[in-house]
Structure 1
Amino acid sequence: TAEEPAAVRMSDLGMKMDLPRPEMFDFHGVTMVHYFTDSWDKVQNFQARPDDILIATYPKAGTTWGSLILDLLYFGKTSPERQTSIPIYDRVPFLEIYIPSVKSGIDQAESLPTTPRIIKTHFPVQFVPKSFWEQNCKMVYVARNAKDNMVSYFHFDRMNMVQPDPGDWNSYFHRFMEGKLVFGSWYDHVNNWWKKKQTYSNIHYMFYEDMIEDTGREIDKLCSFLGLSPSAEEKNQITGGVQFDNMKKNKMANYSTIPVMDFKISPFMRKGKVGDWKNHFTVAQNEEFDEDYKKKMKDLTLQFRTEI
């Protein structure tokens, strides 16, 4: 039998990958696709270390933003060459992703040379491997208001071949409300992570809108959670580097080097604005959405802003 070709890093694949769009299915009560469940057993058995940092989000809620901030806080000063030579998705591996012939997220995480290891996930809280809890790892959760999150996810699904085809906006709009998108319901995701934070003190819950409003302030809060004290100069450098327009131009942060995304359809980093939903929602959709939202968002301690 021919040997399996060695797994390569995503960034080593120069060509566009011709992947079939996956079908969604119910997986332990959450809508998923096989690219994120094929390595389930390996992911669940992952051995976290006490200093690992997990960044968790519903897709398109500021994952890359949070990842880059964390990476710069820990390694911006000590290994600046990382910033210009290694794409963010290789510096902060995506725990559950498994694309055949590409190095899996788990393999990447296990071979990370850094301390701490910064690892990202889109898992709902109940899917997080138990060793992260046992090791009392720090976790950073970024949440984004539902309306903007939906719009961003729609455009992302249009251009990303490891996601199902989104179909038209109106059907997507209804599937979002029903939780029939990859990684399940936005409502369950943000609510269950919020609930977990009440009993597990090592979760820092951030809001995308707050980060847009005052990036420096939110980085300060993050530093105090992580026990870091960067100099004013370092902090200014990081704050500048992670502004949306700078990230969008940064080849190591904007995913333009990844072969599964078609930038001709839509860029990975599109607008990075709060309130872009107003360009997509009709008046009727907005009313329908608000009605449904009230029923699903029972916990009044969790408040989102749809404009700032």
Structure 2
Amino acid sequence: WETIHRPELFKICNDVISVYFYFNVQNFQARPDDILIATYPKAGTTWVSQILDLLYFGQTERQKTIPIFERVPFLEIAVPPLFSDLADKLPTTPRLIKTHFPIQFVPKSFWEQNCKIVYVARNAKDNMVSFFHFDRMNIAHPEPGDWSNYIHRFMEGKMVFGSWYDHVNGWWKKKQTYSNIHYMFYEDMIEDTEREIDKLCSFLSLSNSAEEKKMIAGGVQFDKMKKDEMTNYSTFSILDFKISPFMRKGKVGDWKNHFTVAQNEVFDEDYKEKMKDPTLQFRTEI
């Protein structure tokens, strides 16, 4: 890794991902009991993955010895040394699989098998701030540039995995016609983790006890997961923790420490133009 410059690395990874996508991911064979976790990047993917892993498999040795990106692998991962069909080879039942794909890229077998899907959405401002710092420390992503330009890139949808606006809206619209999508909000999870775990259990028809759910809610709090090598991605080789931690703050409203007044006004105007559906509402503070 050290011998490859970042722009060159990004081009290599981009080419690899393109080939992998066309020849493997779209032919992925989902099973009826697969659980797909779908998010825009940096919207609570690891958090919900850990919650579901604990709900299904309990507090076991696997959480202490296997990192979360192997327990709940990405469907579309294609970055060495993880260039493999980790999702397909999962030994667990059910298989917990995650993706950052927008709705149109999800392999058709998930719909054909009527799989249950948990979608997590985070308000655009905090999501962008988190993505900015992630891009800074992820050597497989293009350089994010300065914050001012990054805001415009985000608004224009020129991001890995595309437009945030298209992503959250696309999944929200699919929910109206596909009943096996549970659409969650990051802010609701921050506000009351135990309540949201109850909703998850109801959606997934899980019968975990109240004591189990309370224990899980306490165990997945941000500060605990940030210190845990099995959830904080510190063993993932393409992330540079000297620049930023993978799990940075986990707050609602941190965008206020990044946006100027002028930037916020421009962003709000653009947001109004792109978020026309009155039934999909986000909170930027709680």
TM-score (norm 1): 0.89
- Report the CA distance between 1:129 and its aligned residue: 0.2
Q: Distance in 1 between matches of 2:5 and 2:110?
A: 32
The structure where helix makes up a greater share of residues is: 2
Residue 38 of structure 1: aligned partner: 19
Identity %: 76
Size of the aligned set, in residue pairs, is: 283
Q: Distance in 2 between matches of 1:62 and 1:132?
A: 21
Residue 7 of structure 1: aligned partner: none
- Report the CA distance between 1:229 and its aligned residue: 1.4
Gaps in structure 1 of 5+ consecutive residues:
1-14, 25-31
3-state SS of 1:39 partner: helix
Q: 1:19, 1:162 within 8 Å by CA — same for their partners in 2?
A: no
Structure 1 position 208 matched with structure 2 position 186: yes
**Counterpart of 1:87 in structure 2: which amino acid?**
P
Structure 2 CA distance for partners of 1:167 and 1:303, relative to 1, 3 Å:
same
Q: Distance in 2 between matches of 1:231 and 1:125?
A: 33
Structure 2 CA distance for partners of 1:17 and 1:242, relative to 1, 3 Å:
farther
- Report the CA distance between 1:162 and its aligned residue: 1.3
Equivalent in 272, 277, 280 of residue 299 of structure 1: 277
- Report the CA distance between 1:110 and its aligned residue: 1.3
Structure 1 position 158 matched with structure 2 position 136: yes
Structure 2 CA distance for partners of 1:113 and 1:17, relative to 1, 3 Å:
farther
Structure 1 position 188 matched with structure 2 position 174: no
Q: 2:77, 2:83 within 8 Å by CA — same for their partners in 1?
A: no
**Counterpart of 2:182 in structure 1: which amino acid?**
H
Q: Distance in 2 between matches of 1:168 and 1:196?
A: 35
Residue 51 of structure 2: aligned partner: 69
Q: 1:17, 1:260 within 8 Å by CA — same for their partners in 2?
A: no
- Report the CA distance between 1:91 and its aligned residue: 0.3
**Counterpart of 1:95 in structure 2: which amino acid?**
L
Equivalent in 238, 254, 262 of residue 276 of structure 1: 254
Residue 76 of structure 2: aligned partner: 96
Q: 1:52, 1:118 within 8 Å by CA — same for their partners in 2?
A: yes
Equivalent in 31, 43, 47 of residue 29 of structure 2: 47
1:80-159 alignment runs, 5 A limit: 80-104=60-84, 107-159=85-137
Provide Cα deviations, 1:141-165, integer angstroms capped at 9, x if missing partner: 0000000000000000000011111
Provide Cα deviations, 1:219-249, integer angstroms capped at 9, x if missing partner: 0000000000111221111101110001101
**Counterpart of 1:96 in structure 2: which amino acid?**
E
**Counterpart of 1:258 in structure 2: which amino acid?**
F
Give the RMSD, CA atoms, in angstroms: 1.6
Gaps in structure 2 of 5+ consecutive residues:
none
- Report the CA distance between 1:102 and its aligned residue: 3.2
Structure 1 position 289 matched with structure 2 position 267: yes
3-state SS of 2:240 partner: coil
3-state SS of 1:140 partner: strand
Q: 1:109, 1:119 within 8 Å by CA — same for their partners in 2?
A: yes
Residue 206 of structure 2: aligned partner: 228
**Counterpart of 1:38 in structure 2: which amino acid?**
V
3-state SS of 1:56 partner: strand
- Report the CA distance between 1:285 and its aligned residue: 0.3
Residue 9 of structure 1: aligned partner: none
TM-score (norm 2): 0.95
**Counterpart of 2:208 in structure 1: which amino acid?**
P
- Report the CA distance between 1:16 and its aligned residue: 7.4
3-state SS of 1:38 partner: helix
Residue 149 of structure 2: aligned partner: 171
Structure 1 position 259 matched with structure 2 position 203: no
Structure 2 CA distance for partners of 1:144 and 1:298, relative to 1, 3 Å:
same
